[in-house]
Amino acid sequence: MKHISKAFLLGAALAVAACSNANRFDDDMVGQDAAATRIDNGIIPGSVNDPRAPAYFNQTIGDRVFFEVDQSTLTAQARATLDAQAQWLTTNSDYLAVIEGHADEQGTREYNIALGARRANTVMEYLISRGIPANRLKFISYGKERPVEICSEEACYSKNRRSVTIISQGLTG
Amino acid sequence: MKAILVPVLTWLGLLASAALSLWFGILATPVLAQDGPLRIEITEGVIEPMPYAVPAFVAETDGAAAFTEEVSRVVADDLNGTGLFREIPRDAHISRISSFNAPVPFADWKAINAQALVTGAVSTDANGRVVVKFRVWDVFAGQELGQGMQFVSTPDGVRRLAHKVADQVYSRLTGEAPYFDSRVVFISETGPKNERVKRMAIMDYDGANVQYLTNGASIVLAPRFSPDGSRILYTSYETGFPAVHVLNVGDVQSRILQPNDGVMSFAPRFSPDGATVVYSLTQGSNTDIWAMDIASATPRRLTASPAIETAPSYSPDGSQIVFESDRSGTQQLYIMPASGGEATRISFGQGRYGTPVWSPRGDLIAFTKQNAGRFHIGVMRTDGSEERLLTASFLDEGPTWAPNGRVIMFSRETQGAQGASALYSVDISGRNLKRVRTPAGASDPSWGPLQ
């Protein structure tokens, strides 16, 4: 009897997940059980409210941290975000992460690649210091090649000087 | 004045490229005594462009008429583009050249103040090849300047024939080495700033004959010609990580220089002998300069500071490397022996200095300077003295030298959400700033050798 009700709940959970965020359907398979039990608490599995969902990592915790001009040191706010990222990665130990480093357009192409690498590596080392195994992490720099904001003002530059932690499921899950 | 034209006297050499074969030879001509040949002196000050005339080249065979206009137009465009010469328009010409061998009526050219005159003829031979002949005249001395020459190529090389003619005229009138018959590899850019598609492309120095070398699926950056123009180093994200690739221009085949998972390599440049690549490698938060012998694929570390060291460029004799480092706290320029070791800082002005490039003559270093919210392309002597800024804009970067060291090409990106990148060239005196024609946006030029 218990088995049947669980299957029923799972079906319902997946249906909701599919409606709310079709792209995350595959990711949700990991958290079947948790999702099935938590749906009663009003948490939509796979959503930004589901602590096990990538959407929660990307949006509720925040997948990115920002840097001052020419700097790769972490602000207090960045450290708080990364603490939460580390906690999530500890809980969801089957996820790998690639940390992207980016720079704003004020700088030469070559220097910005190296600067983006410094930023991404700083984030990676911080996550390692918070207990994430180095073999789950990689970093890459895009320099100034991939801005998210395109104006030539500080309002945009401050959003482009960033590192973004891109999570993906490993084979160990 | 009687010019006797005989068949090609001397075969000076055979120049081959993937696209065409091109031959040239000197035409025999009576030797004339010359004292004080016509010469434009290129100095740092403002100069008055030399007035000259290029009447339409004469078609000597039926098949040649299709090429005469293009040849004389390209010759004039090359010369005009230097800013050193002023073409006297055809409608001001008094006499017309109807035969390449006819005596030149100097009085008619003096009357319109043409100091130099370029005459030429085009013919086609039995094999369908195009033959271009030309002579350069010192109008006021009433003498030929140098010897008549002819160049031969297949029809697809007609623009190169014209560039060869213009190179000769430029050299004879300036005393400088030429640069028109050369190519530029660059990054073609399309799409908005946050979704820019980058493709590596190659073109003639004047923007003609663009060919794409990559398809735009991966980010490609900062291509650099080998000294002989046969290979190109560039950075590609094809594997997911930035890595230095080397491409054969002939068959457009490329390979990763140093396959190494998770390690970033970028900012490559060839040594003057083409056997070694110097580049940046990022390990952890540290970016250092490495050199690699291409044949043995053996990397050697040249810098070992925790700072960012990048943008290395060899001196023309291969003995030294200029590069940028932020070891002092901001980006500055340094020179070290090619084998690594202690580096000497050479930039001391206000602002930040990056992407240094050693001139082919060895006496100057071009760089990108960032100061007070503006970007500049500048040059300084190799000891850092006599710094001169040639440009100023929202974002200028990435200088590259013309083969003769007289002209610099670079990228200029415009400000704002609609900002786009384009190529510009400027004389090392700071004069004659102009945009280089490209089909779309363009950045990261690298000027190849004279072909």
Give me the CATH number covering residue B108.
Answer: 3.40.50.10070
State whether B373 and B240 are in the same domain. yes
- 8 Å CB contact of A147 and B287: no
Domain span at residue B327 reads 182-450
B372 touches chain A (CB under 8 A): no
Shortest Cα distance, chain A CAs vs residue B431, angstroms: 24
Domain end position, chosen among B120, B143, B174: B174
Pairwise CA distance, residues B59 & B55, whole Å: 12
State whether B292 and B429 are in the same domain. yes
State whether B359 and B255 are in the same domain. yes
pLDDT band at B48 (very low <50, low <70, confident <90, very high): confident
Exposed / middle / buried, residue B183 (Cβ in 10 Å: 0-12, 13-18, 19+): buried
| Overall average pLDDT of the B264-281 stretch | 97
With beta carbons less than 8 A apart as the criterion, state whether B150 and B27 touch. yes
pLDDT band at B33 (very low <50, low <70, confident <90, very high): very low
- HSE at residue A171, side-chain half, CA atoms within 13 A, is 1
State whether A16 and A95 are in the same domain. no
State whether A24 and A109 are in the same domain. no
State whether A41 and A91 are in the same domain. no
Shortest Cα distance, chain A CAs vs residue B44, angstroms: 28
Q: What pLDDT does residue B24 have?
A: 56
State whether B255 and B151 are in the same domain. no
Q: What pLDDT does residue A29 have?
A: 43
State whether A84 and A114 are in the same domain. yes
ipTM: 0.89
Q: Which residue has the higher pLDDT, B27 or B58?
A: B58
| Cα Rg of chain B (Å, integer) | 24
Q: What pLDDT does residue B258 have?
A: 81
Q: What pLDDT does residue A172 have?
A: 52
pLDDT band at A101 (very low <50, low <70, confident <90, very high): very high
pLDDT band at A8 (very low <50, low <70, confident <90, very high): very low
For residue B2, being part of any structural domain is answered with no
- 8 Å CB contact of B415 and A72: no
Shortest Cα distance, chain B CAs vs residue A118, angstroms: 4
Q: Does A107 have pLDDT greater than 50? A: yes
Nearest to B354 among A108, A148, A152 (CB): A108
CA distances, A124 to each of A55, B39, B131, B262, B282 (Å) = 20, 62, 64, 13, 14
| Overall average pLDDT of the B13-30 stretch | 43
Render pLDDT for B380-432 as a digit per residue (tens, 0 to 9): 999 999 999 999 999 999 999 999 999 999 999 999 999 999 999 999 999 99
State whether A159 and A82 are in the same domain. yes
Q: Does B259 have pLDDT greater than 80? A: no
The CATH number assigned to the domain holding A157 equals 3.30.1330.60
Q: What pLDDT does residue B46 have?
A: 54
State whether A93 and A145 are in the same domain. yes
Residues in chain B with CB shorter than 8 Å from the CB of A118 are: 285, 287, 308
pLDDT band at B15 (very low <50, low <70, confident <90, very high): very low
Of all residues in chain B, the percent with pLDDT exceeding 90 is: 87
Nearest to A72 among B221, B285, B398 (CB): B285
State whether B94 and B126 are in the same domain. yes
Q: What pLDDT does residue A89 have?
A: 97
For residue B4, being part of any structural domain is answered with no
State whether A101 and A43 are in the same domain. no
**89-108 of B, contacting A, C-beta below 8 A:** none
Q: Does B269 have pLDDT greater than 50? A: yes
- 8 Å CB contact of B324 and A107: no
State phi, psi for A67 to the nearest 5 degrees. Answer: -130, 155
| Overall average pLDDT of the B301-330 stretch | 97
| Overall average pLDDT of the A99-117 stretch | 97
State whether B363 and B408 are in the same domain. yes
Q: Which residue has the higher pLDDT, B151 or B42?
A: B151
State whether A49 and A125 are in the same domain. no
State whether A78 and A104 are in the same domain. yes
Q: Which residue has the higher pLDDT, B372 or A39?
A: B372
Q: How many domains does chain B have?
A: 2
Q: What pLDDT does residue B86 have?
A: 96
Q: Which of A71, A72, A111, A141 to mutate to test the interface with B (most CBs of B within 10 A)?
A: A111
State whether A79 and A45 are in the same domain. no
Render pLDDT for A128-170 as a digit per residue (tens, 0 to 9): 999 999 999 999 999 999 999 999 999 999 999 999 999 999 8
Domain end position, chosen among B113, B146, B174: B174
Q: Does B234 have pLDDT greater than 60? A: yes
Single-letter code of the amino acid located at B213: L
**Mean pLDDT over each residue of chain A, to the nearest integer:** 83
Domain span at residue A163 reads 63-169
Q: What pLDDT does residue B233 have?
A: 98
Beta strands in B226-343 (DSSP E): 231-236, 243-248, 253-256, 264-270, 276-283, 286-293, 298-301, 309-314, 320-325, 332-337
Chain B nearest-CA residue for A147? B194
State whether B134 and B263 are in the same domain. no
Structure-token pair, residue B94: 């008094």
For residue B201, being part of any structural domain is answered with yes
Q: What pLDDT does residue B309 have?
A: 98
Shortest Cα distance, chain B CAs vs residue A111, angstroms: 7
| Overall average pLDDT of the B215-222 stretch | 97
With beta carbons less than 8 A apart as the criterion, state whether B323 and B302 touch. no
Domain end position, chosen among B153, B174, B195: B174
Nearest to A111 among B331, B413, B419 (CB): B331
Q: Outline where B212-252 has alpha helix (H).
A: none
For residue B1, being part of any structural domain is answered with no
Q: What pLDDT does residue B8 have?
A: 32
**383-442 of B, contacting A, C-beta below 8 A:** 394-395, 397-398, 413, 415-417, 419
Q: What pLDDT does residue B5 have?
A: 28
With beta carbons less than 8 A apart as the criterion, state whether A159 and A105 touch. no
* Neighbour order of strands in the sheet with B352-358: B352-358, B364-371, B374-381, B388-389
Q: What pLDDT does residue B23 have?
A: 56
CA distances, A149 to each of A48, A104, B192, B221 (Å) = 23, 9, 11, 21
Angle, alpha carbons B124-B26-B146 (nearest 5°): 120
State whether B151 and B203 are in the same domain. no
Q: Which residue has the higher pLDDT, B334 or B259?
A: B334
State whether B94 and B140 are in the same domain. yes
Q: What pLDDT does residue A18 have?
A: 36
Residue A32 region, left (φ>0) first, then alpha (ψ -120 to 50), else beta?
alpha
B197 touches chain A (CB under 8 A): no
State whether A157 and A85 are in the same domain. yes
* Interface contacts (A, B; CB < 8 Å): 95
Q: What pLDDT does residue A20 have?
A: 38
Q: Does B276 have pLDDT greater than 70? A: yes
- 8 Å CB contact of A111 and B308: yes
Q: How many domains does chain A have?
A: 2
State whether B146 and B204 are in the same domain. no
B240 touches chain A (CB under 8 A): yes
Render pLDDT for B73-121 as a digit per residue (tens, 0 to 9): 999 999 999 999 999 999 999 999 999 999 999 999 999 999 999 999 9
State whether A50 and A67 are in the same domain. no
Chain A nearest-CA residue for B325? A111
Pairwise CA distance, residues B215 & B201, whole Å: 10
| Overall average pLDDT of the B186-206 stretch | 97
Q: Outline where chain A has alpha helix (H).
A: 2-20, 25-28, 32-38, 54-55, 76-91, 109-129, 154-160
Q: What pLDDT does residue B32 have?
A: 42
Cα dihedral A26, A160, B413, B179, rounded to 10, equals: -70
State whether B202 and B80 are in the same domain. no
β-pair partners for B231: B248
With beta carbons less than 8 A apart as the criterion, state whether B243 and B235 touch. yes
State whether B28 and B120 are in the same domain. yes
With beta carbons less than 8 A apart as the criterion, state whether B291 and B277 touch. yes
